[in-house]
Amino acid sequence: MTAENAPQAMYRTKEGLGVWEHRGKVAAVGVGHSPTARRWDERPETSVGAWSILALRRAIEDAGVSPDQVDGLVIVPVTTTGAFWPDDKPLPIEAINAFNQTSDPLDGIAKLSDEWLLKNMPELTNIKYSAYGPVCMSNALNVASQAVGDGLTHTCLVLKAWHNLEGRYYQGGKNAANSTDGTSAIKNIWGAPASYGTALQFAEYCRKYGKTHDMMAPFMSNSRRNGLMFPEGYWAQHRPEELTSEDYQLARWIAKPANLFDNDIPITVAAAYLFTTAERAKDMKQKPVYIMNHASSETKPRSMTPTLDEVEADTARTGRMIYEGAGITADDLSFENMYDGFTLFHQFHLEGLGYRGIKFGEALDFYQGDITIEGPNPVSPSGGNIGSGRSRFWMHTDCIQQLQGRAGPRQVTGVKPEIAVSGGPMPLGGNYTVWSATPD
């Protein structure tokens, strides 16, 4: 079986579609996480493939099903955005040979196929549906939600894994060469790092609304605090360090106005969820968390990088799609878990949602209030990537755990966890899921 990218028709990308036809009929039940590490140590048992298998098995066990009940698999085949196996480095033969291989020697090492997983998980004997949700977990969740709703699969595993290698992220390859191809050169030869685009939007935002970078400090401290209560996360496991305002405000710039801590830390990790029908979920081990809607934006910037106007227009449109398909309004949200890989765009997501009535230009002021899990306006209770390292899925795990009452010390107490939204990555484009503790 070789999967392909899910067809475009599976994504809900337009306004005016009405309530999602499978609202409340699909549920997340099981959650499985691998350990985390800063970089791969080249041992077979810690490879991205090995940790993917671990996460999948944990999700199956957490849901209380047997592997042969699983009939669907949606994964993200790309396991990095900036750490690539160098062309001149010998392949890690021991790690490759420790598993059943596909024709690509880096499968299970620096990328992941459904074929590799199924060759190495003999217990999955009944997979009838397999698809890729490209880019990140947010995308894969949308595919799995629609697939279960459409009856393509009734018990579906969803997986995203990340690897990280020695060396600095995004360095090496084309960036280390004395010349590059014409298409890449249009953007890359000016040397802007990954956070540059977001930094530009934030700079324009501050000029337009009269705000400052220092106003981000409470959000940062809150996110790291929440992340330290996420035992599955990198900081909690390896470096349980708080982030004070002084720590944040004095950090070195990467692409001013984005500093070191505005950029998430790349790690190696895998997470998996088990989705099923609302009917089947009743007999599974954990409390079901119902999917009320999924929404996607395919908006691209007009030119080299999104302007603030484009960001504000698209986040507002995304907010409208999220609410329309779920049949809710902003007032119904118990909390939000939007993406924060570059911290400086989390506020754009909040403003687009109109979370707690925030309007454009008001989110940084909102951060100065009580945004803790104990308060009435929790912001990023997962702690996101800032709290736990670069995964793009802490937000989803947290939504499930909060609504199941399994978030431990991170459990929101200032609000009753009933409905939440998570997704990303960027303010322009991205995939979003609305979760609920009840099916209606």
Candidates 40, 60, 58; CA nearest to 48 is: 40
Candidates 13, 81, 180, 237: give the one binding another protein (CB under 8 A): 180
Coil, helix or strand at residue 258: strand
Strand partners, 338: 423
- The count of C-alpha atoms lying within 13 angstroms of the C-alpha of 423, restricted to the half-sphere facing its C-beta, is 30
d(CA 94, CA 42): 9
Least distance in Å: CB of 395 to another protein? Answer: 23
- Give 14 or 282: the residue with its C-beta nearer to another protein: 14
User: What ranges in 28-113 are assigned the alpha helix state H?
Assistant: 48-63, 93-97
For residue 259, the surrounding DSSP H or E stretch is strand 258-259
Beta-carbon contacts of residue 20 (< 8 Å; ≥ 6 apart): 12, 149, 292, 293, 294, 325, 326
Q: Decide: 171 and 194 in contact? Cβ < 8 Å.
A: no
By CB under 8 A, tell whether 191 contacts another protein: yes
Query: By CB under 8 A, what part of segment 195-224 binds another protein?
Result: 196, 199-200, 203-204, 207
**From 2-10, 242-250, 268-276, 420-428, span contacting another protein (CB under 8 A):** 242-250
Count of residues near another protein by CB under 8 A: 52
**Residue 216 CB, nearest approach to another protein (Å):** 15
14: nearest Cα among 428, 310, 325: 325
**Span interacting with another protein, options 134-142, 235-243, 312-320, 416-424, rule CB under 8 A:** 235-243
CB of 182 to another protein, least distance (A): 4
Query: From start to end of 322-436, where are the E strands?
Result: 335-338, 419-424, 430-436
In angstroms, rounded to a whole number, what is the distance separating the alpha carbons of residues 114 and 127? 10
Q: Out of 9, 179, 359, 416, name the contact with another protein by CB under 8 A.
A: 179
Binding another protein by CB under 8 A: which of 7, 68, 189, 409?
A: 189
In the complex, the smallest distance separating the C-beta of residue 259 from another protein, rounded to whole angstroms, is 9
Measured distance CA(106)–CA(83) in Å, rounded: 13
Tokens of 77: 């085949």
Site for another protein contains 253 (CB under 8 A): yes
Report, in Å, the least distance between residue 319 CB and another protein. Answer: 24
Residue from 257, 383, 384, 423 in contact with another protein (CB under 8 A): 257
Per-residue binding string, another protein, 294-333, x by CB under 8 A, is ------x-xxxx-x--------------------------
**Other residues' Cβ atoms within 10 Å of the Cβ of residue 195:** 24
The residues that touch another protein, with contacts defined as CB under 8 A, are 168, 170-171, 175-183, 185-194, 196, 199-200, 203-204, 207, 239, 241-244, 246-247, 250-258, 260-261, 300, 302-305, 307
